[in-house]
């Protein structure tokens, strides 16, 4: 039987609203959901148990336990999952999607302790910044930490100019400005973390205002794959 070639355009047509997708399911039309956007900086929730300094201290203490092999695996029972809404996450972490560095593991935290935003290259695009704003303005997180890691395959791809699929190339465009002639991958990783932290402050008036008022801090750090240690870079 002859098959017509599947192209990007034909595949998109196949999932248009009202059409039948390849699995035989009818694709419903999109539903517009009204979202209110306030021009003002929202009132921050109170989280008296933490300050930005104490939040950072707790993260670094957890990482020290991780490095020493003395992890406590706290608050990871199913009961803690059910109660996670009773206490807001004390820190928001923008990290890389790499499977080797889940923040809750490298900082020895449990359910509900951290608000994790993960994306290849730990880049701060519109969606990631929106998530961080939610953590700060709605949940009351006191620390925003940009967490990179050494030997990053994502950063290497950006530095080397490796040919990549459309969406991946667009994502890594946010890393590419950090490349420098002759620079090592790990030095670009560090500079990328600093760049993303600066960009978060520049792009988000919510986070910028909260930091200027002393409510939160935006920091940068790099996870060292050789020994698991997290080092602050700003």
DSSP string, 33-68: ------SSPPPPPP-TT--HHHHHHHHHHHHHHHHH
pLDDT, averaged across the chain = 81
148-170 pLDDT, tens per residue?
A: 999 998 888 888 878 888 888 88
CATH at residue 207: 3.40.1050.10
In-domain check, residue 27: no
Q: Which two tokens stand for residue 113?
A: 């302790």
In-domain check, residue 24: no
Between 6 and 72, whose confidence is greater?
A: 72
In-domain check, residue 26: no
In-domain check, residue 112: yes
Report the number of distinct structural domains present in the chain. Answer: 1
77-111 pLDDT, tens per residue?
A: 566 555 555 578 999 999 999 877 899 999 999 88
In-domain check, residue 39: no
In-domain check, residue 154: yes
Q: Looking at 119-226, which runs of residues are DSSP E strands?
A: 143-149, 217-223
Whether this prediction's pTM lies above 0.85 is answered by no
In-domain check, residue 7: no
Between 13 and 140, whose confidence is greater?
A: 140
pLDDT in the model for residue 181: 64
In-domain check, residue 28: no
Which residues, in sequence order, are bridge partners of residue 117? Answer: 94
Residue 218's domain comprises: 51-232
């Amino acid at each position: 039987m002859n098959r017509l070639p599947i192209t990007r355009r034909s595949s998109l047509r196949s999932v248009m609203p009202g059409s039948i997708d390849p699995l035989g399911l009818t694709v419903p039309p999109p539903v517009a959901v009204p979202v209110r956007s306030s021009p003002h900086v929202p009132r921050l929730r109170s989280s008296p148990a933490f300050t930005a300094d104490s939040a950072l201290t707790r993260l670094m203490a957890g990482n020290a336990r991780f490095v020493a092999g003395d992890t406590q695996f706290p608050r990871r029972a199913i009961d803690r999952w059910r109660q996670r809404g009773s206490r807001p996450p004390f820190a928001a972490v923008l990290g890389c999607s790499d499977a080797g560095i889940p923040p809750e593991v490298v900082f020895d935290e449990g359910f509900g302790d951290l608000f994790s935003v993960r994306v290849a290259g730990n880049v701060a695009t519109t969606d990631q910044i929106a998530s961080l704003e939610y953590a700060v303005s709605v949940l009351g997180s006191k620390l925003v930490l940009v967490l990179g890691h050494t030997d990053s395959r994502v950063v290497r791809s950006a530095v080397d100019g490796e040919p990549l699929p459309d969406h991946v190339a667009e994502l890594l465009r946010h890393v590419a400005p950090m490349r420098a002639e002759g620079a090592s991958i790990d030095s670009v990783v560090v500079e990328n973390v600093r760049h993303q932290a600066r960009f978060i402050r520049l792009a988000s008036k919510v986070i910028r205002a909260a930091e200027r008022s002393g409510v939160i801090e935006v920091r940068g750090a790099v996870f060292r794959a050789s020994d698991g240690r997290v080092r602050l870079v700003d």
